[in-house]
Structure 1
Amino acid sequence: MEDSLIGLEDAVAALRRAWSGGTGKADAAGPASELDRAGLVAVNHALAAVGRRLDTVRAQVSAEIEHESRPELGPDSLAKQQGFRNCTALIAATGGIGAGDAKRLVCVGKAVAPRSTLTGEPLPPKHPHVAAGMAAGRLGQLAAALIVGMLDKVALRSSPGDRDQVEQTLVERAPGLSLDQLRKLITHAEAWLDPDGVEPAERDRRGERSLRLFERDGFVYVDGKLDAVSGASLKTAIDALVTAGFRQSRNDVTCGDDDALRPSVAQLQADALIQLAEHALGCQHSDLPLSGATVVVRMSLDALTDGVGLAEIDGITQPISPASARRYAAAAGIIPAVLGGDSEIVDWGRKKRLFTLAQRLALVERDGGCAMCNLPPGMTKAHHLNWWLRDHGSTNLDEGVLLCESCHHRIHDNGWDIRIEGRGVEARVWFIPPPTVDPGRTPRLGGRARFCYQAA
């Protein structure tokens, strides 16, 4: 019989080795303050592995507690015998977690547990790829819960084969992604599994849009939510003004104004909303830095002509229906990007040093924003892979990449390399870490392809 704790024990042993090696004390794990930089990185990875292994064991145990606490057992329910109303309350209280976290543990445990028929014949887990990922220590409980929740949500509106393919792809691509990044990938995968559900969901979200303005304690409070289609223009305009605010803040510091106040992102977003309102009211601020901010609605030729498929809006995670895309693209200041079978290349060679607007829009199609960290396009600049002056690089799409200021410095200062495979907007951007980060220098997928789900 397989030992359920072997993986956890191995992970703990690896953590102890990493900690001891980082402090230089082979016989003991000293304080974290004694870890060198390489040790900190190694311990951080080992801690994550321990967490994933522990998640697997906790999910398995939680599922069994739920089974032993099912309502039909009545007073013999395990939870009731322990003085709790149900298994969720028992798990939450003993684990010091919320009821929602306890429910997710049970849900994941049941999804990855072996099953059997009524006659006792063994069956694979309900979600075998998630089960395999957790058993191998590649997938944690929270990531597993996101994948399982989405697959169960579309179970009645998709085929078993498609769901199995999506589950396998999500489990393979989840390692190395934050939960927010995984949610983005899952959103696209859900739309691929259930494209007919996108437009009805849009109608529901439009019906739930709201905005409240009220005054209290000398403040005007703004509280609201917009559906993805309606909110895209507001988000794009505010992102552009926030970027301009960051640029002005940097200029103040560069000019020696050490006392210059550096507003937070939230303050810059509030300022941007105020500027938009003032502009709409007809004030004299005609030089607002919005000329470079463009909402791009993206769809395939089939989606445009036949209304079949999905469309996207730059900076918005939620895919939209072709009907909404066509209506939205008819507005002023909106650029519809229709992609045919072949990707046209806008190639200026060395005629110009700076990337043109058309080239930048093409890079946005390929990279989706910062190709490394996924910041919105308005917070990025187009950079040459080979420096234009020093390396005689060309100003074309095959030698350009969108990067935010922070990632640009990280690339140059820490020894990362960038490789682009393919041509046009369908090319893929790969980031190769330096040996200090990954001795094997395993390429990491970047750009829009990292988060967009496509059928194999």
Structure 2
Amino acid sequence: MAILDERPVWSMTGSEKLSALDAAHAEIARLQARCLHLSAGLDADGYAQEMGARDTVQLLSVRYRLDPADVRRDLRLARALHKYPAVTAALGTGRSADSDSSAPLVTVNPGQAEVIVSALEKVPSSAGVPVEDLRVAEEAMVEAAALLPLADLRKLGQEMRERLDTDGPEPRNEDDASSREALWIKKADRGVTFGGYLAGENAELFETLIFAGAKPHKTPDGRRDPRPRSKRQADALSAVLTTAAGNGSAVPGHGDIKPHITVTIDLEDLKDATGTRGRGYLVHGDTLSAAAVRRLACDAGVIPLVLGSNSEPLDVGAEHRFVTRAIRQALNARDKGCIACGAPPSMSEAHHITHWADGGPTSLENLALLCKRDHINVHRGHLTVHMKNGHPVINRPTWSDPDPPPVLGNTA
């Protein structure tokens, strides 16, 4: 095993730090390649079953506390490496670019190896591609890996596949594509991760709604939207889901009844104006802070199940306690969107100026439209809202303005 420079970072020059980082990455790649070969050997031996595991994926994911999807991907690469000598030779330790031993080494890391092998594995045997041609493609991609970013290496793999399999895959009809549609949802820390595949008009509808809702908006002071594209797209999807749930027709069989989120929370926690104590419990097992429950309970999308001191249900909120359709239409007409940043009504939520848990009525005189971001800021105390001449007014926070310049004394 290579001995790495383990001097304290503070004692190293910039050049020394970069050289040490080069050595660390090379050692990591070497060890990752070693892990791939060992994993493939274990899998070929069937040793996982001997130990009582279901398969090698289960053995490695449980033993090393890894995500089974990552283990399955790496094992797929490990199983295929024996068919790709150029990749195997370059993986981790590197190989000469030609027969001349004085030529520089060409090295690929496991990520690059996975891209190369995955591209060539997708060339079907039915295409009848000669082994020599596959070797040439493999060699070319290994050479290119020394120069290309991973995204460009993937594009090259696609081009290689198209050149080798000139006929390409048989075209799929629309029914085939539709039958492959799928959505997966997996629990994550304080939320879910998800992914899947949509085809045809469903894919077009999804992209249209997400792209339309993810357009950047300037901040109230005229600066560029600080959200990255991934966050804007997540906000757009949340807005689409909120709108669909609000119109009562999102889920077949619900008729005109909205699908609600139900949160169980202690009464004293809910009444805590700052929301710094207690949590609300969701049906699917996650929790929300009391502050988040207070914000969500402003609108009709959440029903709080309020518990007394002995954990007995005191009240289950009914939708008419919150914002009815007629009130919401009046809010849209009066406020015309978020009163803080001007986001349209479709992206805004109804906010109780005096929270209903504190006795505030559900009426136009006690409601205002706020986008989700500004709604959160109001409930955190960063912004405040008050009514003036029948219209809600947002108060700028004290920290939004710079301190006045000091008054200079008379130098005369």
Name the TM-score class by shorter chain: 0.3 to 0.5
Bigger relative CO (Cα 8 Å, ≥ 6 apart): 1
Greater share of residues in helix? 1
Normalized against structure 2, the TM-score is what? 0.41
- Considering only CA atoms, is the larger Rg found in Structure 1 or Structure 2? 2
